[in-house]
Amino acid sequence: MALLRTTLLLATTWLAAAAVGAESAYQLVVHPSNPVSTLQRSEVARMFLKKVAAWPDGHPVAVIDQERTSEVRKAFSRDVHQRDADAIANYWQTAVFSGRDVPPPIGRTDDEVLAFVRANPGAIGYVSAAADTVGVKVVTVR
């Protein structure tokens, strides 16, 4: 019985640590003038797939992604899209091939994403958890 409790405690601790690690792998950021402070996961996914064209205040949504192979994009894709980054890249390849749309611009680094977000009132992007987010607003994803 004690062994079972110990095993369950270790498993619960490991799962909690994994969840915290996944949550803190990226920060969602918007322009500081954006009144939004919290977004639903599904809404963020729709923005990054260009299915939402404007913020509630009317500003056009300006999305910036990161490199498909970056760890922060992998974490963001798993958390927000609930798919891996390759699946999202395939989505965009199909959209481009069919003439429907083009993917968002790519920031090669957190600094490039942050510069884009600071310069565009309707911008939204994501950066690593360790990034210095001075000059942008961090948004909570629910």
Which of 11-15, 22-26, 40-44, 59-63 has the weakest average pLDDT? 11-15
* pLDDT at residue 127, rounded to an integer: 98
Spatial strand order of the sheet with 123-128 comes to 38-39, 137-141, 26-30, 123-128, 62-63
pLDDT, tens digit, for every residue of 29-76? Answer: 999 999 999 999 999 999 999 999 999 999 999 999 999 999 999 999
Determine phi and psi for 41, rounding to 5 degrees: -50, -45
Tell me whether strands 62-63 and 123-128 are parallel, antiparallel or unpaired: parallel
Predicted pLDDT at 5: 47
- Domains defined along the chain, listed by start: 25-141 (3.40.190.10)
Query: What is d(CA 41, CA 139) in angstroms, rounded to the nearest whole number?
Result: 11
**pTM (2 decimals)?**
0.83
pLDDT of residue 120: 97
**Confidence tier at 22 by pLDDT (50, 70, 90):** very low
